[in-house]
């Protein structure tokens, strides 16, 4: 049976299945429950002027909210409000806070704080732990993925041997891994100006390939769900 009633019905030009056309969009609670060519019953109605295009909510799986010791820059409220104002309704938040989210206690605290302060849909990522065995507890306590794993962390924790142990544990637990595929050695070899105009030279594609190829081999070998930040 089709939807016959919505809380809010919007008549607008909307992006629907690859094209822009005039439709009615019904919203019930926080979900889009109706998209069609004919109006349905609704508690409230809204018609957008023709210069506007109605789009689905955006999703950004790679954001860096601050909070904790960096809350003077941004906190859970200001960061998520900025995302919502830009049309983003769901985000995946990286663990590069201060302190980084590398303990179960901090993970729980962060999830509780963001759940209390905002209604945006969030996935919380867990920082690369020095001891990969903690990943099972991280997953059961709300972590959606581990990473982004930085090459500097890999080098500090034992290099390729650590990376293989991390991937093996993640594969066994069933948690995705997000890699930051930039080789710091290649970055430090650059001797030119370090400003925005030269960013594409400082952090060009060539510095991603060594880390990407190493990670890809492990991903394939362990059938691990993965995302690479390039």
pLDDT in tens, 151-178: 888 889 998 899 889 988 998 999 998 8
CA nearest 207: which of 180, 188, 227, 182?
A: 182
Asked whether the predicted pLDDT for residue 210 surpasses 70, the reply is no
The predicted pLDDT at position 179 comes to 83
Q: pLDDT band for 1, please (50, 70, 90 cuts).
A: very low
pLDDT in tens, 100-136: 999 999 999 999 999 999 889 999 999 999 999 999 9
- pTM of model > 0.85: no
The predicted pLDDT at position 201 comes to 74
CA nearest 50: which of 12, 18, 4?
A: 12
| CB contact set of 63 (below 8 Å; sequence gap of 6+) | 79, 83, 91, 92, 93, 94
The predicted pLDDT at position 42 comes to 94
pLDDT above 70 covers a percentage of the chain that reads: 87
The predicted pLDDT at position 154 comes to 86
Asked whether the predicted pLDDT for residue 222 surpasses 60, the reply is no
- Burial string for 8-45 (b: 16+ CB within 10 Å, else e) reads ebbebbbebeeeeeebbbbbeeeeeebbeeeeeebeee
Look over the chain and give the mean of its residue pLDDT values, rounded to a whole number: 86
Sheet holding 121-126, edge to edge: 58-63, 88-93, 121-126, 143-149, 177-180, 226-229
Angstrom distance (rounded) from CA 155 to CA 212:
15
pLDDT, mean of residues 76-83: 93
Give CA angle at 103 (97, 108), nearest 5°.
80
Angstrom distance (rounded) from CA 167 to CA 157:
14
Joined tokens for residue 21: 């056309």
Angstrom distance (rounded) from CA 111 to CA 223:
29
């Amino acid at each position: 049976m089709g939807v016959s009633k919505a809380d809010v019905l919007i008549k607008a030009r909307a992006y629907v299945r690859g094209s822009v056309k005039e439709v009615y969009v019904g919203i019930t609670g926080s979900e889009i429950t109706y998209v069609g060519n004919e109006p349905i019953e609704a508690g409230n109605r809204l018609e957008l002027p023709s210069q506007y295009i109605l789009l689905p909510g955006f999703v950004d799986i790679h954001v860096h909210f601050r909070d904790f010791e960096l809350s003077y820059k941004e906190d859970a409220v200001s960061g998520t409000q900025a995302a919502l104002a830009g049309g983003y309704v769901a985000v995946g938040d990286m663990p590069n806070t201060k302190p980084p989210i590398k303990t179960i206690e901090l993970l729980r605290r962060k999830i509780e704080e963001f759940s209390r302060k905002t209604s945006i849909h969030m996935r919380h990522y867990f920082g690369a732990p020095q001891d990969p065995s903690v990943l099972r507890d991280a997953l059961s306590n709300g972590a959606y993925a581990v990473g982004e794993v930085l090459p500097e962390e890999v080098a500090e924790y034992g290099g390729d041997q650590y990376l293989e142990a991390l991937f093996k544990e993640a594969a066994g637990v069933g948690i995705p891994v997000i890699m930051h595929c930039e080789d710091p050695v290649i970055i430090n070899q650059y001797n030119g100006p370090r400003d925005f105009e030269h960013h594409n030279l400082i952090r060009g594609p060539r510095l991603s390939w060594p880390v990407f190829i190493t990670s890809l081999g492990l991903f394939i070998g362990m059938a691990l769900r993965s995302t690479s930040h390039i």
